[in-house]
Chains A and B, each alone.
Chain A
């Protein structure tokens, strides 16, 4: 099992989503991708896309207005 952290701090939509989609392609099922974001629009688009694609998603608020979206590739 591999765990990768993707820093998308300061990046507006749709950059985090596109970056996450690309990063996830390189990962195996069961691997974890942690996307760090601070734009609230990515808070919605990224988990929605990931859930639709069938991955497990968990969002953790690291600080006020800063989140980690944890995606487990299915």
Chain B
């Protein structure tokens, strides 16, 4: 196919779950030109949840799809542009952030990563043959009605496994739960465990993991392996629900932002990834609690961070990369004495040119983000020369003589070194 379209945005948000939508609401309200890209379904993983009972403001509870649709409507009200498409590639550099979909290359001043996670799979034999609509499900809400009067299996014993398993007993004839632990140990909270143990429709296969899945077009049988005896037992089931945790959607960002051992993105409290202009929020972050309420909180912080970053870089472009005069930008550091000694000399040089040169001094220690805009690793004592707001020359170490020599090449009226500084 031909050349890709090029578009520019203040903010591009990747992911349309609660974190991405909350970030969108904050960006939209701050009048930032914002695009949100979502791969499959607006609302993200939260749309898999039947009832959300712990999101403040909904005392009767609300379904995941309903709640996220409200987020979506609210973001739309603030003028956010939405596009349903897969991101193919990203490139983060000090001075630019590029996001590529199959038709378009987006250039963004800020990128907010809100790609969340996906359910973990068992990686047992033949699993991929039956994923999603062929018998293995990760969403009780979505597939419970289809389990009416049938035998289903649940893998896992955490809160979601046991709570969703209990919910399934309202439809299914029998719910068999494969638990990796000794009887009666489970990973879920005690209330859920006691309710499950007392539920006549639920039975438990203790000390088991999935050995393999079998069937024709759709799943027919799950073979469970007993970890103690090694014995494999077949179970005839119509659907198998896997609830064994989540993994982050971060393949796209490997090697591009810092990640934890399990590939969650590491950020600080301000949702900054360490790459200038790149934020991450929601379930994709390394953090303690992954809930809708913490995702929207992250999103708000990232949205405000984006606004602040853009305001700073606008100021940077207007004041420091000004176009009226030849620019002389000097980086010093409040904790580096030699770099401070050059400060008065810089001021003398500026005045010697009688208004032809504009000096900007940046304290690398205090205004780190301004330094980042000039390049990722700027050392103290670096001098940048600009013409028409573009950097034309960078020098790491310098003195009065070399600065004047350089400026004389750029200005209309050069100065005589000896005459100006007797």
Contacts and interface: CB of A to CB of B under 8 A. Distances in A.
A52 B103 CA distance: 19
Interface residues of B, number: 12
Contacts of A1: 1-2
Interface in A38-59: 47, 56-59
Interface of B: 1-2, 76, 81-86, 101-103
A59 B40 CA distance: 10
B1 A61 contact: no
Contacts of A58: 83-86, 101-103
Contacts of A14: none
A72 B1 CA distance: 9
A70 to B, nearest CB: 6
Chain A, interface SS category: strand
A60 interface: yes
Q: Which 8 A-B pairs have the closest CB atoms?
A: A59-B84, A58-B85, A56-B102, A30-B1, A61-B82, A1-B2, A1-B1, A60-B83
Most chain B C-beta atoms within 10 Å of own C-beta, residue among A1, A47, A60, A64: A60
Contacts of B83: 58-61
Nearest to A57: B85
Contacts of A64: 76
A35 interface: no
A30 B3 CA distance: 12
Interface of A: 1, 30, 32, 47, 56-61, 64, 70, 72
A57 B84 CA distance: 9
B70 to A, nearest CB: 15
User: Which of B1, B76, B82 is the most central at the interface, judged by chain A CB atoms within 10 Å of its CB?
Assistant: B1
B364 to A, nearest CB: 42
Contacts of A30: 1
A72 B85 contact: no
Given A30-B1, A64-B76, A72 B82 contact: no
Contacts of B76: 64
Contacts of B82: 61
A44 B1 CA distance: 25
Contacts of B85: 57-59
Contacts of A57: 85-86
B273 to A, nearest CB: 26
Nearest to B76: A64
Contacts of B1: 1, 30, 32, 72
Contacts of B2: 1
Nearest to B83: A60
Nearest to B85: A58
Given A1-B1, A32-B1, A64-B76, A72 B84 contact: no
A74 B333 CA distance: 55
A5 B84 CA distance: 18
A64 B82 CA distance: 11
Given A1-B1, A59-B85, 11 more contacts: A30-B1, A32-B103, A56-B102, A57-B85, A57-B86, A58-B85, A58-B86, A59-B83, A61-B81, A72-B102, A72-B103
A53 to B, nearest CB: 15
Nearest to B82: A61
A72 B104 CA distance: 13
Contacts of A32: 1, 103
Contacts of B81: 61
A57 B83 CA distance: 11
Nearest to B88: A56
A7 B1 CA distance: 22
A52 to B, nearest CB: 11
B78 to A, nearest CB: 14
A30 B103 CA distance: 11
A46 to B, nearest CB: 11
A74 to B, nearest CB: 10
16 contacts: A1-B1, A30-B1, A32-B1, A47-B84, A56-B103, A57-B86, A58-B84, A58-B86, A58-B101, A58-B102, A59-B83, A60-B83, A61-B84, A64-B76, A70-B103, A72-B1
